[in-house]
Amino acid sequence: MNLSADGSNNGKAVINYADIPLVGIPLASEHSVSSANSILSETSERASTAGDSSINGKTVQNLQQLEIAEKEERHVNIIRVVMITFILFSATTVCIIVYFFATDYDKKQLELEYESFVENIQHDIVWEVQYNFALLQQLSAGVTSEILASNQVAPNITLPRFEVMGGFTDGLSGVMTAMFIPLLAASKLKEWEAYSVENQGWLEESARLATDHGKHLRPLEGTYQDHETDAIDLIGVDGNIRGKIEPIPNKIWTWNEGNKTELEPVSDDQLLAPFWQSSPANANTVNSDMLSDYRVAKLYKNMRETNQTVMSSATMIGDLFGWMYSPEEEGKKEEPHAFLMEPVYANLSSTESEPIGLIMGLTSYRHLFENILPPKADGIYVVLTGSSACTANLTFLLNGPEATFIGFHDLHEGMEEYEAMIPMELYNNTSEDLCTHDLHIYPSPAFVESLHTRKPLIYTSIVACAFVVTTICFLIYERLVTKRESTKTAALQVVASLFPSGIQDQVLKGVHDGTHGTSNPGGVIATFFPQTTVLFADIAGFTAWSSSREPEQVFQLLETVYGAMDQIALRRGVFKVETVGDCYVAVCGLPEPREDHAVAMTRFARDCQLRMASLSQQLEVALGPDTAELSFRIGMHSGPVTGGVLRGQNARFQLFGDTVNQASRMESTGLKDRIQMSEATAQKLIAAGKGKWIEKRSEQVDVKGKGWQETYFFKKTFGTNTSTSGASTDDSHARAKKPVIMPLLVNKNQRLVSWNTEVLVRRVKAILSDRNSHLDDDGVKHDVELSPAVADQLHDYVEEIASMYRDNPFHNYEHASHVTLSMEKMLSRVMETSKDKRSVDRYQNDITSDRLAQFAVVFSALIHDVDHTGVSNGQLVKEKDRVAVLYDDKSPAENNSIHLAWNTLMQPQYKDLVECLCQTEEEKDRLKKLVINAVLATDLFDGDLRKSRNERWDHVFGSKSSIAVLSRVGEDGFEDVNSLKVMIVLEHLIQASDVAHTMQHWHVYVKWNERLFHEMNEAYSSGRLGKDPLTFWYSGELGFFDHYVIPLAKKLKECNVFGVSCDEFLDYAEANRSEWNMKGEEIVKGAKRVR
């Protein structure tokens, strides 16, 4: 901001604002028809008012040019619309025709392909079932032949080598197991039970045959029909029977609610079907009465009635046959299966007699649909619907040779227009109780989409390309027109954002007339506004606050605060003129005059003040200590202003006049967190009936160039019951809601706890990120999240550390937070410097990559003054304090802080936090060593420690020989020179952070210097300091600067740890030393007077 009152401006103040260029605003020839009509209307009105004689030749010429341009533009638009419409219509018609014929051809090809798949499904499924029937019939004939050859009498029949006979059946088909089941009357129950026990040796034979004859086929993946189970369980690696084969049940049994129950026949004539031999063999299923299962009994009835091989409806195999699937295929047990049944007769010619046994097979419905379609023929649904004797409908999805069971019921996805219904004709004879199926085949949407080709699009694209040459000229033309209109719109938006509405019209008119950017007096853009109120709002304490922050944090604060003020200004009808640094300038009463401009601006000021109070508390959690202390210092003055645009490069709306100067003086002479206004503004408020809002300032204000004046403050008792959005209780525009402000995080220590916790959370996340190598392709680390337990424990720990600080004026928790803030800033500077690979030293990279060391120094900054008593180490030694005795008079305060903080961290309630930080005992020991070194480095007055630190610095960064450096490395226990450098630099960083107030803005230095004086004064008053601080404070501070602060800043500069930022700390230190040299004595005298 440049406020001047020279002769060239007639004694009025001028504000030169930051400008935004108006380059790119379209000229009059680019105006639309509506714009031209508007200009013509305005020009005609002026001509009629002034008389015909006032219309000169240039005006008439301009009117004629506008009329011609209007007609030409109209004709061009008509031709453009006609041509584009014709081309689009022709292209669309031809493309539609081509696309229609190509799509129709594509659809016919799809139908042919689909029909071939349907035929394959129909043929292969029926063939598969009938093939299974044929194999069972063949096995039945083989069993009959074996019975006749061995002269066995039913039902006591045991078939030798049934493992081989059944193995061919289940190996060549989809039958998972082949079973021989004798039929007997209940009267022969005891006889059979004795027989089965005596003849169970076939199980051992089956196990032996499974090894000798192991080349069975295995068409069903995951099943055990190749007899691996038998071989693994019964045959050892030496080929001998291993162990004892599990005996079969000695009673015929049935399943009853999931348990084996001994069969109790109803009568001697009851027909029984004990499970006997199977391939593969399984002892646990032997002697299970199959006819006790209603499904098998129903199938047996169907077989006898139709005298043919039959297949059951869908059934669940349950526990009896669950062993057929391997553990990896456990889920397939829940799929639908089917029993196949074929009778066994006493001889080959007696098929009309009663059967003596049964051959049964078990198959999966899913297997019927496998290996039907070729690869890549994916997405065909097959729905099996059955007769009334069937249990349920089944849906399968075929993807190439694989089939997937979707579920019971019809679950296909649309495509009814492609449905193919095919009956499964499996039987010569049928009955009401026999389940028969029909196949309903549907393509899935994905299948139909996969068979669609790109030919329709290709053909259509070829035709469309024929129109490209014709249309390209029109497209280019349209693009140019669009670009012109968008440029015009963008320019208008820029103008609207920079200028009030009334000024906008004059700016655009100046561009149209060709006078923008010239010195033509006729094109001056300026307006006099007689009734306005101007406001200056400055963030008090911002300069000092920003000296300890990073640029990103500074801009985060300003963007947040100014964004909130912009919203309030928009709602209150206030025009934002500009922002200069931390000063916000606004005006009310222009461009549209309003009588209540002073009232509206006062409400705006009050709303901004309250919003700032709320935001500063919220932002302290993110931006650190002292943020909540920031507030506005606001000044207002009412009077006339001249607003206009000084044409030239980067032109912008500006305010001129004494009112602006007065408003600026009201702000600069005001008080923090107060709204000061001139008497002119106060009179406006009184006249508006708002006199109760204000109070006269107790003393007059010396206004530069105006002398002493009476000013007024806005009363803090008014307007405090407003919402954080700024709605006033007496605001006619916002009476709907009147919430009361609820202070956010009122307790400052709690806000600092939250901020310190967030700082440490970031450091812990960095450790985890490095440890787990969360890197993406370009080497950027992914963000990691802490577990809730670790995050909660970290917050609890910081809260406990805060409670361990005493309420000293200087050595308190706020000081620890300030040191932590300074350490964070210094580390961020080191991290930023390390990005410049050309000038960075290796030890700087080591600091940057050592996340544990970074955590350690930030942690040390937080805990370095825990339980500080407010007196020096020398006093503690002199008093023989318990702590001094405990630590042998060596840095007692620092050692006590380390002891308390570390022991607290090792408590069981922080177990997860410690394990997160340190995975091994070595890491824990290293962390402890780093903390000890860092905290002890804050002991400024221990001569031995200071001498040791200086020697190490000279050895590493000074002119000492490399041999001395290497010897020092060994003495200090560091692995190499860089490790030693890292530790030395970190020690000096925490020393600098501990006295960071001396290397920051003068106001920050004075604030903490005053607190330290009060602390030492209290110690002197209580007899715990041997000398009155008033007697040495001035000279002592100069000596502290000369012998500690400035040399420390120079060391940091010498080691180049901050790169180009190294001068900042030294410059502040030297500036504060110079300022103290000039003002220190007066400050000490003032302290003496207060005492």
Which residue, 401, 416, 449, sits at the end of a domain? 449
pTM of the model: 0.53
Q: Which DSSP string do the residues of 34-100 spell out, in sequence order?
A: HHHHHHHHHHHHHHHHH-GGG--HHHHHHHHHHHHHHHHHHHHHHHHHHHHHHHHHHHHHHHHHHHH
In terms of domains, do 588 and 706 share one?
yes
- 260 or 43, higher pLDDT: 260
Is 241 domain-assigned?
Answer: yes
The residue to which tokens 């035709």 are assigned: 463
pLDDT (average), residues 368-391 = 86
Is 1014 domain-assigned?
Answer: no
- Beta-carbon contacts of 587 under 8 Å, excluding residues fewer than 6 positions away, are 532, 533, 534, 535, 574, 575, 577, 641, 643, 655
Q: Using pLDDT thresholds of 50, 70 and 90, give the confidence band for residue 975.
A: low
Q: Using pLDDT thresholds of 50, 70 and 90, give the confidence band for residue 26.
A: very low
In terms of domains, do 761 and 706 share one?
no
Domain that holds residue 542: 518-714
Kindly state the percentage of the chain with pLDDT values over 70.
Answer: 77
Closest CA to 937 of 989, 883, 978, 879: 989
Q: Using pLDDT thresholds of 50, 70 and 90, give the confidence band for residue 770.
A: confident
pLDDT (average), residues 615-637 = 89
Number of other CB atoms surrounding residue 251 within 10 Å? 16
Helix (H, G, I), strand (E, B) or coil at 4: strand
Is 375 domain-assigned?
Answer: yes
d(CA 683, CA 568): 24
Is 892 domain-assigned?
Answer: yes
Maximum CA extent, the chain: 141
Phi-psi domain of 782 (left: phi exceeds 0; alpha: psi -120 through 50; beta: other): beta
In terms of domains, do 936 and 840 share one?
yes
pLDDT per position as a tens digit, 587-618: 999 888 889 999 999 999 999 999 999 998 88
Contact (CB, 8 A) for 289 and 252: yes
Number of other CB atoms surrounding residue 637 within 10 Å? 30
- 440 or 479, higher pLDDT: 440
Q: Is pLDDT at 378 greater than 70 in this prediction?
A: yes
Q: Are strands 402-408 and 694-696 parallel, antiparallel or unpaired?
A: unpaired
Phi, psi of 530 (to 5 degrees): -75, -25
In terms of domains, do 697 and 794 share one?
no
pLDDT of residue 1020: 92
Check whether the bond before 280 is cis (ω within 30° of 0).
Answer: yes
pLDDT per position as a tens digit, 835-854: 554 444 555 666 777 888 89
Amino acid, single-letter form, for residue 905:
L
Q: Buried b vs exposed e over 971-1007: b needs ≥16 C-beta within 10 Å?
A: eeebeebbbbbbbbbbbbbbbbbbbbbbbbbbebbbb
Q: Using pLDDT thresholds of 50, 70 and 90, give the confidence band for residue 83.
A: confident
Q: Is pLDDT at 722 greater than 60 in this prediction?
A: no
In terms of domains, do 700 and 779 share one?
no
d(CA 611, CA 456): 63
In terms of domains, do 581 and 691 share one?
yes
pLDDT per position as a tens digit, 535-553: 999 999 898 888 888 888 8
pLDDT per position as a tens digit, 139-174: 889 898 988 888 898 899 998 888 888 877 766 777
- 1 or 286, higher pLDDT: 286
- 256 or 301, higher pLDDT: 301
Contact (CB, 8 A) for 690 and 638: no
| DSSP secondary structure letter of residue 1042 | I
Q: Buried b vs exposed e over 6-39: b needs ≥16 C-beta within 10 Å?
A: eeeeeebbbbebebeebeebbebeebeeebbeeb
Q: Chain-wide mean pLDDT for the chain? A: 79
pLDDT of residue 1055: 78
Dihedral sign of CA atoms 810, 814, 815, 816 in order: positive
pLDDT per position as a tens digit, 90-148: 888 888 888 888 888 888 888 888 888 888 888 888 888 888 888 888 988 989 898 88
**CATH code for the domain in which residue 522 is found:** 3.30.70.1230
Find the range with the poorest average confidence among 403-417, 700-714, 726-740, 955-969: 726-740
Q: Which DSSP string do the residues of 947-980 spell out, in sequence order?
A: HHHHHHHHHHHSS--HHHHHHHHHHHT-SSHHHH
CA 376 to chain CA mean position, Å = 39
Find the range with the poorest average confidence among 72-81, 102-111, 209-218, 665-674: 209-218
Contact (CB, 8 A) for 414 and 383: no
Closest CA to 844 of 1059, 1022, 1082, 1057: 1057
In terms of domains, do 209 and 254 share one?
yes
pLDDT of residue 449: 81
Find the range with the poorest average confidence among 40-54, 191-205, 725-739, 803-817: 40-54
Q: Is pLDDT at 708 greater than 50 in this prediction?
A: yes
**CATH code for the domain in which residue 918 is found:** 1.10.1300.10
Q: Which two tokens stand for residue 511?
A: 């561009």
User: Reduced to 3 DSSP states, what percent helix, strand and coil does the chain have, rounded to the nearest 5?
Assistant: 55, 15, 30
In terms of domains, do 439 and 336 share one?
yes
Helical pair 1002-1021 and 813-834, crossing angle rounded to 10 deg: 140
In terms of domains, do 545 and 645 share one?
yes
Q: Is pLDDT at 724 greater than 70 in this prediction?
A: no
In terms of domains, do 303 and 438 share one?
yes
Closest CA to 527 of 512, 514, 545, 509: 509
CA 1060 to chain CA mean position, Å = 35
Domain count, the chain: 3
Q: Is pLDDT at 23 greater than 90 in this prediction?
A: no
In terms of domains, do 443 and 542 share one?
no
Q: Is pLDDT at 863 greater than 90 in this prediction?
A: yes
Check whether the bond before 591 is cis (ω within 30° of 0).
Answer: yes
Q: Which DSSP string do the residues of 790-842 spell out, in sequence order?
A: HHHHHHHHHHHHHHTS---SSSSHHHHHHHHHHHHHHHHHHHHHHT-TTT--H
| CA dist 459 → 95, 100, 106, 456, 464 (Å) | 9, 11, 12, 5, 9
pLDDT of residue 509: 65
| CA dist 64 → 71, 513, 934 (Å) | 11, 16, 85
Closest CA to 996 of 626, 547, 542: 547
pLDDT of residue 121: 87
pLDDT per position as a tens digit, 725-768: 443 434 444 333 433 333 444 478 888 999 999 999 999 998 88
Q: Is pLDDT at 296 greater than 70 in this prediction?
A: yes
Helix (H, G, I), strand (E, B) or coil at 239: coil
- 202 or 469, higher pLDDT: 202
Q: Using pLDDT thresholds of 50, 70 and 90, give the confidence band for residue 586.
A: very high
Is 366 domain-assigned?
Answer: yes
Contact (CB, 8 A) for 833 and 844: yes
Is 681 domain-assigned?
Answer: yes
Find the range with the poorest average confidence among 43-47, 469-473, 674-678: 43-47
pLDDT of residue 276: 92
In the beta sheet, which residues pair with residue 278? Answer: 179
Is 212 domain-assigned?
Answer: yes
Which residue, 658, 690, 714, sits at the end of a domain? 714
In terms of domains, do 753 and 675 share one?
no
Q: Are strands 253-256 and 394-399 parallel, antiparallel or unpaired?
A: unpaired
Q: Which two tokens stand for residue 238?
A: 């030496």
Which residue, 433, 449, 465, sits at the end of a domain? 449
Check whether the bond before 443 is cis (ω within 30° of 0).
Answer: no
Q: Is pLDDT at 802 greater than 70 in this prediction?
A: yes
**378-386, strands of its sheet edge to edge:** 402-408, 394-399, 378-386, 437-443, 420-423
pLDDT (average), residues 620-643 = 90
Is 282 domain-assigned?
Answer: yes
Q: Using pLDDT thresholds of 50, 70 and 90, give the confidence band for residue 943.
A: confident
**CATH code for the domain in which residue 284 is found:** 3.30.450.350
Helix (H, G, I), strand (E, B) or coil at 15: coil
d(CA 624, CA 1045): 24
Q: Using pLDDT thresholds of 50, 70 and 90, give the confidence band for residue 208.
A: confident
